[in-house]
Structure 1
């Protein structure tokens, strides 16, 4: 029996369709508890706009009916993942904050390989801990593929994780609008992007299979108390995520991730983020780049 007992067309006028103060508070509390992401009152209109898509998808009357479905009619269990997908922000770009990728190529990976000079073809592991649609993970793959072809003395594997199932599906598919990959340098565009021979209304490209094979994606909530991944990761990207958490949660997430870094490994934050005010002790080697002792 369906949980949707009152199917009806969505409201025609969004201006009259709003969450009550109580319902917005309940949804904000739920998202905060589940993901650590804080939704202050200033984000209410944005959240309402995103949730109206779920209202239409479920055939409900409006946001009030959606809240009733979640909290009175037992719909939360089935809707939880979709709710999180709808309200989480998934801003990402190829070669975002490019100085980090220059540093990765010119210093971080060479220094990591120097620490492991007794190994034959060591495997460099990189984790994109809030990978969204995969742009950061595939950017890293392009940079490391070029470096590996040049040096011929290491292998690499990349993990991308995110809490949103919808963006992970897009990341695994690895298909992007042509304008979205504009930041990719021309030489990497030619090597790592496939362009359709017959373009549709919106031209698209796809990451080449040789690169896709080196990148895996998995769902992860950074608020989980433990992460089921390797503990010898060389580089972890955690960029532009901590700004959505309070100080206590920021510190917990950072400490958990550091536990997955090998000694000498690097944690890379966004340029607008820092570890000031936390109990975390790591050596800063560049703006927003920290090394585990």
Structure 2
């Protein structure tokens, strides 16, 4: 009996323009070296989809021409930022893994304020892979409400990311209206502005009083050192280590812990295990670690 099973057709046989295996490998190696992000062969279609818009903007006819521009014609130096912007994943939500914000209110801030012994002390909070800013502004909402209740601390929030495109959106603080659905209604009333006239796409903006409490800076977590304060109270680094190799995970966490003051907190994503057992930290809640 003849076998009628159909074999999967190779990507290159579908009539579309595609990255060659060689060119994809060169891009994947470049991105891992520059940003620490792994791009296995299964990500090739995703990378192609994200690069097509960039290719059109440059007037490149196909992937082969684009890769020649990058690797043979000296275009990489001025194109690298755009390439990283295009291929990096920027999944983010307001109040993602909300139990971390509950722990912040119930434990982190009270412990930090008590240990400081200062009147109206300044708490420094760092969203180390901030993407478009949803995490940073969630922190600002939660801390601003808590500050109004306690009236015994101040706070400042830093958001950093490797993608200049998402940092620009974070600074604008404009989001699709449906994205704020996880924000409690009472917080939406205080911290979210709606347009007076509805446009084709419903968008909202974070209020200026909150935007002033958050600043955004470019940072590649793969850099050997970070040009930021070393007395940070809380670092959020959630759902980014999963894209890194083990050695890079440990190096990044080690550097970030070095920026925490003693007693400060590191918050990872629930899908991530603690990296670097030799670090001077103790686990105090799921995916939450305190520097000794």
Give the TM interval when normalised to the shorter protein.
over 0.9
Q: Structure 1: which 5+ residue stretches go unaligned?
A: 1-13
CA distance in 2 between counterparts of 1:31 and 1:170 reads: 22
8 Å CA contact 2:249–2:275 kept in 1: the answer is no
Deviations 1:62-84 (A, max 9, x none): 11111011011111011000000
| Aligned CA distance change for structure 1 residues 222 and 15 (closer, same or farther; 3 Å) | farther
Partner of 1:19: helix, strand, or coil?
coil
Question: What residue in structure 2 maps to residue 88 of structure 1?
Answer: 88
Q: Could you tell me how far 1:43 is from its partner in structure 2? A: 0.7
After superposition, residues 1-293 of structure 1 pair within 5 angstroms as: 15-117=15-117, 119-275=118-274, 278-293=277-292
Give the secondary-structure state (helix, strand or coil) at the position aligned to 1:91: coil
Q: Work out the CA distance in 2 between the residues paired with 1:157 and 1:277.
A: 28
Answer whether contact 2:253 2:275 (CA < 8 A) is retained.
no
Secondary structure at the counterpart of residue 143 of structure 1: helix
Deviates more, 1:268-277 or 1:83-92: 268-277
Q: Structure 1, residues 9-66: CA drift from partner, whole Å, max 9, x if none? A: xxxxx95211111111111110011011111111111011111111111111111111
Instruction: Identify if the C-alpha distance between structure 1 residues 20 and 213 changes in structure 2 by more than 3 Å, giving closer, same or farther.
Output: same
Please give the alpha-carbon distance, in whole angstroms, between the structure 2 residues aligned to 1:99 and 1:112.
18
Distance, in Å, in 2 between the alignment partners of 1:206 and 1:226 is 33
> Cα distance 1:141–1:277, how it changes in 2: closer, same or farther (>3 A)?
closer
CA contact (8 A) 1:247 1:278 kept: no
Native 8 Å contact 1:284 1:291 kept in 2: yes
Which moves more between the two structures, 274-283 or 261-270? 274-283
- Aligned partners of 1:104, 1:45: CA distance in 2, in Å? 39
Contact 2:250 2:275 in 1 (8 A): no
Contact 1:251 1:280 (8 Å CA) reproduced: no
TM-score (normalised: structure 2): 0.94
**Alpha-carbon offset, residue 281 of structure 1:** 3.8
The CA distance in 2 between the partners of 1:15 and 1:270, in whole Å, is 40
Give the Cα separation in 1 of the matches to 2:151 and 2:40.
50
2-structure distance, mates of 1:67, 1:25: 11
SS in 2 for 1:133: coil
